[in-house]
Structure 1
Amino acid sequence: MNYTYLTTEALAERIHYDVQTIRDRLKDSVLIEGKHYFRPFGGRKILYIWETIERDMRQPQLEIDSSLINSGPAASPQPATEKANRAASVEVAFIPMAGGGICNG
């Protein structure tokens, strides 16, 4: 398969984001090294893989495993120890952000 490799500037033009936003907010949180971008020959330059980014941009950002939703104090039997009781009461909370990322809170 042929891939389209983009610099940060070229990617910014395609997705209508500021270059600095890509570098500061998206890289390493939404755009993952080895999946969405790579450093050719181990250097400092970054090339983004357009086909992978385009595919992932269209996917829902938040895909929660149903086991995480159903786990918790109401869905599980009473824990035997205090440590297990604290672990069972932990809830998973994700807050979608305007920039397309998520906040774990």
Structure 2
Amino acid sequence: MNITYMTTSELSERIKYDPRTIREQLKDSVLFEGVHYIRPFGGRKILYLWERIEEDMLLGVSLNTLTVNM
């Protein structure tokens, strides 16, 4: 399985959110450690797991679509 590791800046470019928004509002409320991001070697640096984030974003879209269409 290929995993794409991204910094906060790289993730912000991909999802069109400001890096500060990711750090202050999304991290630990919708993006969770061990699911959407890791801290390699127990350090301070955060690497986001793109495939997990993309999967959850698409899941949210399909759930919202189902709710609206019911």
Could you say which TM-score interval applies, normalised by the shorter chain? 0.7 to 0.9
Structure 1: runs of 5+ lacking an equivalent = 64-105
- How many matched pairs? 62
The TM-score normalised by the length of structure 1 is 0.57
The SS at the match of 1:45 is coil
Displaced runs of 4 or more, over 6 A:
none
Task: List alignment gaps of at least 5 residues for structure 2.
Answer: 64-70
CA RMSD, Structure 1 to Structure 2 (Å): 1.3
Distance in 2 of aligned mates of 1:52 and 1:60: 12
Q: CA deviation at 1:60?
A: 2.3
Q: Which has more radius of gyration? A: 1
TM-score normalised by length of structure 2: 0.84
Larger relative contact order (C-alpha < 8 A, sep ≥ 6)? Answer: 2
Q: Which residue of 1 aligns with 2:9?
A: 9
Measure the CA separation in 2 of the matches of 1:8 and 1:57.
Answer: 17
